[in-house]
Amino acid sequence: MASIKPSAHLAAVRYEIRGALTRRARELEAAGRPIIKLNIGNPGRYGFETPAHLREAIAAHLHDSEAYGHEQGLDEALAAIAAQQRARGAHGVEVERIFVGNGVSELIDLALRALLQPGDEVLLPSPDYPLWSAATILNDGVPRYYRCLAENGHLPDPAEIESLITPRTRAVVLINPNNPTGAVYPRALLERLVAIAAKHRLLLLSDEIYDEILYDGATFQPLAEVAGELPCLSFGGLSKVYRACGYRIGWMSLSGDPARSAAYRDALQLLAALRLCANVTAQWAIRPALTGTPTIQALTAPGGRLHEARRVVLEGVAASEYLELVAPAGALYAFPQVRAERLPAFDDEAFALQLLEEESVLVVPGSSFNLADSRHLRLTLLPPPADLAEVFVRMERTLGRLASAAPARAVAMA
């Protein structure tokens, strides 16, 4: 009997955050070896808790959650999101232009499915969060990458972005604060990107799931306010700021001149209706999340657990003979790279596997984020600071072994 062939689309799709290295880590754990995991931004797995008032809101509305909801979301949830977006300066935001989904992940897919014709191009950051690339490919689009280089603070070059635009380009994606680099985009940069999008009539897609996770005075600038009347789709949710990944609640807000995006809004509503509705039970947490007392700042301020974890990472890199890092200004990750002069032939995927096998540490190689010739590794800031300090001891040992073996390899090849 012939084997079942998967879709050819998947040949170009990767998601190593939960890929082969993670499967190998599970095998090692099953064999009794404890693994320090730095691969996934999943706060609940590291002892962080969802704020109590969100849990209480869900518990109080269990009886109200047993029927399908409206395809765009619960009325009170949509109203709270609209109020948040208007308070941030977004133009033209009304409840009928907001969609709640089963996490931002589902909404990214819906947004691109409603937009793309086969062969249309989407401008994506490199490194990117790989779901954006996957959703583009799976919806018959073509990713075109603009670089966010470490030597530029992991910020994009507007001139390079404009040089990549072709007649098939439909949208430009921003991730701010950025996953995986932790970069936070200044307003002046966003203004230049908006001007490019306006000139070439591109839809702006802004992934802002880490909007309130900021360090050392960094400021988040919502793109919708800068975009003004230009159509802009902004994404947010409960997973990161509110440490509620398992609730699977995200939202997207379509701002700008409604007349310019009316047909697109209707397409989004059709796709939302086809999947019936988002998780009704967890939607009751949206209003209390957006209107209640903020809780993330206690974790990101000096002395808070996330701030302390970031401090340990910065100190670990500073003490390393092999690593360098652009300090993350936001989000839940650090993206160090190995110095070329110390290990010229560094292979990030091979190193990540060696680190796992020899030192029981799981990280994600930078090449997993659609970054060519990567010397980077992504580490989450969620583990306890003491665990992160131990990670750098183990990484330095592994890098030292690689450096010691490099001359012998060169002689053998000669």
- Per-residue model confidence (pLDDT) at position 407: 64
- Per-residue model confidence (pLDDT) at position 411: 35
8-49+298-413 and 52-291 agree in CATH topology: no
Buried b (16+ CB within 10 A) or exposed e, 186-212: eeebbebbbebbeebebbbbbbbbbbb
Burial class (CB in 10 A: 0-12, 13-18, 19+), 387: middle
- Per-residue model confidence (pLDDT) at position 6: 84
Read off the pTM.
0.93
- Per-residue model confidence (pLDDT) at position 7: 85
- Per-residue model confidence (pLDDT) at position 29: 94
Q: Where are the domains of the chain?
A: 8-49+298-413, 52-291
- Per-residue model confidence (pLDDT) at position 10: 83
pLDDT band at 8 (very low <50, low <70, confident <90, very high): confident
Q: Are 375 and 348 in contact (CB under 8 A)?
A: yes
- Per-residue model confidence (pLDDT) at position 272: 97
Mean pLDDT calculated for residue range 155-179: 98
Torsion sign across C-alpha atoms 183, 187, 189, 195: positive
pLDDT band at 250 (very low <50, low <70, confident <90, very high): very high
Mean pLDDT calculated for residue range 144-149: 97
Mean pLDDT calculated for residue range 117-143: 96
Mean pLDDT calculated for residue range 366-394: 96
Q: In three state form, how does the secondary structure of the chain look?
A: CCCCCCCHHHHHCCCHHHCHHHHHHHHHHHCCCCCEECCCCCHHHHCCCCCHHHHHHHHHCHHHHCCCCCCCCCHHHHHHHHHHHHHCCCCCCCHHHEEEECHHHHHHHHHHHHHCCCCCEEEEEECCCHHHHHHHHHCCCEEEEEECCHHHCCCCCHHHHHHCCCCCEEEEEEECCCCCCCCCCCHHHHHHHHHHHHHHCCEEEEECCCCCCECCCCCCCCHHHHHCCCCEEEEEECCCCCCCHHHCCEEEEEECCHHHCHHHHHHHHHHHHHCCCCCHHHHCCHHHHHHCCCCCHHHHCCCCHHHHHHHHHHHHHHHCCCEECCCCCECCEECCEECCCCCCCCCHHHHHHHHHHHHCEECEEHHHHCCCCCCEEEEECCCCHHHHHHHHHHHHHHHHHHHHHHHHHHHHHC
pLDDT tens-digit map of 336-353 = 999 999 999 999 999 999
Backbone angles phi, psi at 379, to 5 degrees: -120, 135
Percent of the residues in the chain that have a pLDDT greater than 90, as a whole number:
92
pLDDT tens-digit map of 195-239 = 999 999 999 999 999 999 999 999 999 999 999 999 999 999 999
Mean pLDDT calculated for residue range 49-55: 96
pLDDT at position 304 over 80: yes
pLDDT band at 13 (very low <50, low <70, confident <90, very high): confident
pLDDT band at 413 (very low <50, low <70, confident <90, very high): very low
CATH of domain 52-291: 3.40.640.10
The whole-chain average pLDDT of the chain stands at 95
Q: Are 284 and 57 in contact (CB under 8 A)?
A: yes
- Per-residue model confidence (pLDDT) at position 17: 75
pLDDT at position 117 over 60: yes
- Per-residue model confidence (pLDDT) at position 410: 43
pLDDT at position 291 over 60: yes
pLDDT band at 290 (very low <50, low <70, confident <90, very high): very high
- Per-residue model confidence (pLDDT) at position 11: 81
- Per-residue model confidence (pLDDT) at position 9: 80
pLDDT tens-digit map of 354-378 = 999 999 999 999 999 999 989 999 9
The architecture that CATH gives domain 8-49+298-413 is Alpha-Beta Complex (3.90)
